[in-house]
A and B are shown apart, each in its own frame.
Chain A
Amino acid sequence: MAPTPLSAQVPVTVLTGYLGAGKTTLLNRILSEQHGKKYAVIVNEFGELGVDNDLVVNADEEVFEMNNGCICCTVRGDLIRIIEGLMKRKDKFDGILVETTGLADPGPVAQTFFTDDDVKARTKLDAIVTVVDAKHFLGQLEQGSEAEEQVAFADVILLNKTDLVSPDELAKVEGKIAAINPYARIHKTEKSQIDLAVILDKGAFDLKRILEFEPDFLTHGHDHDHEEEVKSQSITSDRPVDPERFQKWMGALLQLRGGDIFRSKGILAIDGAPRRYVYQGVHMMMDSDWGSPWKEGEKRSSKLVFIGRNLDGDNLKRGFEDCLKQ
């Protein structure tokens, strides 16, 4: 018997990007092109989308604080409701795309997938895709924190409108993106032209697939431009991790600094454990699990990554040092 579609988790792609970056163009293409797949699209700027499709749902971004004492624990109430409604359809779809308004913080959207049990049971957050306007990105950075945060949250970046800038300008924008978030995959596009396989079904939040991002962990270990307010910090160590001390440190860190830490992920070599320990978080929310086993004779090392605002790299490194076996 084939598994029922009801029990399968539908992948959800969050699409962010500053106003005019090319999100609507991308959504129009996803809805109108023949790719043999069916997507439900949750949009905020209704009417802008030229496609009349009953799988396009208009949403008011309703950001709700959870009444549980956790200050940065916010969810998108409209998303919980709409996902529940979409699951009542007879016709199933291959994925859901959630477009956020140009000025939205992607935090509450991502946190909804960590917090709400019904949403977690039916869907899984696949990746945060950020569309960046190559021509206006540097200017947008001056105007507020939104453009910077959207890049910081991203798993995949569509560097769009590359035809409107010179190679020098483009290199400058790429450098800036890498300084904020060197772990996102950048795809250069014109008019949001992209093979959808590149942005959909990435499994960026899948703990089982964190290992696939390992090459990035290694290659991006360079020093960053320290002028950035939002940047990433990676920490590595070959000494085994004391799980209790790590839990305590990470718990306190997220409690205290969770508002400023947008994304975090890591692979840990726990003292005496035969398998990797993997985790991944958005602000204060975190998912963790045991990953694949270490191979015989394999060098066991731990790698942590934080992307956030005002990260104190030395402090983070010292904190992690204290979690290691002497």
Chain B
Amino acid sequence: MKIDLANPAWRQTLPPARSIAADAPVAACAFNRDGTTVAFALGDGSVRRLPADITAAAPDAPPPVHGGVVLALVADPVGDGFVSGGDDGRLLRIGADGTATELFNQKGKWIEHLAAHRTTGAIAASVGKTAIVVTKAGEVREFGPHQSTVADLDFSKDGSRIACAHYGGVTVWSLGHITQGQAAPPPRRFAWRGSHVALRWSTDGKFIATGTQENDIHVWRMAQATDMRMQGYPAKVKSLSWTADARFLYTSSQPVFTAWPFSGKGPEGKPPLQFGEEGAGLLSVVAAHPTAEFVAGGYDSGELQLGDIKAKRSVVLKMADGSAITCLAWSPDGFGLAVGNERGDLLVVDLHR
């Protein structure tokens, strides 16, 4: 890997990138499973797909596939395309050729959050107070209703469970019965007062982290069902990202990269690791690199940074431009970075060169 933030020469040349103005806010972005295509979920109902190779010709903007806004987007865990959710209540599979197939539809509800599990091929979606799981075979199972609208969800590492964030805490459902034809075991509930607005299950499956309405982070340790709270954020933490080795949890809503250490005895009583250039505004999205010790951070000012936790430094990839970054996604090999913002600028950064 050529990314070397300690090398001053690297810091002076910004990596090549493709930039396209889509003229509609970007809600989410993702690379497909093999990393050849990148897609952006747009506020005009379309899913804009671009070749990950930034030198390849970009196809024209496609027509909308959702009625209103595309609210969520993930790589299709079984195909070469994507899966999208919209405020029209539809969950769509977008094929490699762009054709949309409906997986689920509930008019009047918004499909705001999606998760996909690569090995099981399952897709989880929030549908109001309920979560649904669409299996590889296309069967739809419902989990809930929860006590409030599901505010985020994620699969466990092995794909055997889903965790749903809501008012009052987190509910974890076992999916085992789906494949084995057993009765559904009762869900496990992890209670903490207040509204939980973001959720990420650690990449080793041992922790579930949430961001709360009160600008805190809450983390439950699965094995002992003990929990911890991190305070001191000036805004809600809506973006959480675990490093690939689960040693650190990156959190948004700080002016510098902020990582809580989870190796050894965990973060209790320790300050978070903070490093890098102080950016303009607060981090609105963080995305840990899929393989190495890098992290991408988008700010509410539009600034984009790439950080290196080993070197404890960061570089600015894009200056603030007044349009908050809303989503970031790494390609599976970690050489491509997709970036979307409120204004509708689609950016694909190529770190190969």
Contact A77 B69 (CB under 8 A): no
Query: Which residue from A46, A62, A118 sits with its C-beta under 8 Å from B167?
Result: A62
Contact A64 B129 (CB under 8 A): no
Contact B129 A81 (CB under 8 A): no
Contact with B along A147-188 (1 / 0, CB 8 A): 000000000000000000000000000000000000000000
Contact A85 B323 (CB under 8 A): no
User: B residues 55-71 with Cβ under 8 Å of A?
Assistant: 67-69, 71
B135 at the interface (CB under 8 A from A): no
User: A residues 40-65 with Cβ under 8 Å of B?
Assistant: 46, 54, 57-58, 60, 62, 64-65
Contact B213 A77 (CB under 8 A): yes
Contact A78 B236 (CB under 8 A): no
| Whole-angstrom distance between the Cβ of A99 and the nearest chain B Cβ | 15
A26 at the interface (CB under 8 A from B): no
| Whole-angstrom distance between the Cβ of B238 and the nearest chain A Cβ | 9
| Whole-angstrom distance between the Cβ of A58 and the nearest chain B Cβ | 5
User: B residues 157-192 with Cβ under 8 Å of A?
Assistant: 167, 192
B87 at the interface (CB under 8 A from A): yes
Contact B69 A89 (CB under 8 A): yes
| Whole-angstrom distance between the Cβ of A117 and the nearest chain B Cβ | 6
**Majority SS of interface residues in chain A?**
loop
Query: Which residue from B87, B151, B214 sits with its C-beta under 8 Å from A68?
Result: B214
Residue total for A at the interface (Cβ-Cβ under 8 A): 28
Known: A67-B193, A88-B71, A117-B235. A81 touches B24 (CB 8 A): no
Query: Which residue from A58, A75, A81, A90 sits with its C-beta under 8 Å from B25?
Result: A90
Known: A85-B69, A89-B43, A117-B235. A64 touches B25 (CB 8 A): no
Please indicate the chain B residues that have their CB under 8 angstroms from the CB of A89 in the complex.
Answer: 25, 43, 68-69
User: B residues 189-248 with Cβ under 8 Å of A?
Assistant: 192-195, 212-214, 235-236
| Whole-angstrom distance between the Cβ of A231 and the nearest chain B Cβ | 34
Contact with B along A274-306 (1 / 0, CB 8 A): 000000000000000000000000000000000
Residue in B closest to A77 when the chains form the complex, CB atoms: B195
B110 at the interface (CB under 8 A from A): yes
Tally of contacts, chain A with chain B, CB under 8 A: 77
A218 at the interface (CB under 8 A from B): no
Please indicate the chain B residues that have their CB under 8 angstroms from the CB of A77 in the complex.
Answer: 148-149, 167, 195, 213
Please indicate the chain A residues that have their CB under 8 angstroms from the CB of B44 in the complex.
Answer: 90-91
Known: A77-B195, A88-B25. A66 touches B343 (CB 8 A): no
B23 at the interface (CB under 8 A from A): yes
Please indicate the chain A residues that have their CB under 8 angstroms from the CB of B235 in the complex.
Answer: 117
Please indicate the chain A residues that have their CB under 8 angstroms from the CB of B69 in the complex.
Answer: 85, 88-90
Known: A54-B68, A85-B71, A87-B25. A66 touches B342 (CB 8 A): no
Contact A62 B194 (CB under 8 A): no
A4 at the interface (CB under 8 A from B): yes
A71 at the interface (CB under 8 A from B): no
Query: Which residue from B42, B87, B108 sits with its C-beta under 8 Å from A90?
Result: B42
Chain A to chain B contacts (Cβ below 8 Å), 9 pairs: A4-B343, A57-B87, A62-B148, A64-B167, A65-B193, A67-B193, A85-B112, A88-B69, A90-B44
List the 7 shortest-distance A-B pairs measured between CB atoms, nearest first: A67-B194, A90-B24, A90-B44, A90-B43, A67-B193, A64-B195, A88-B43
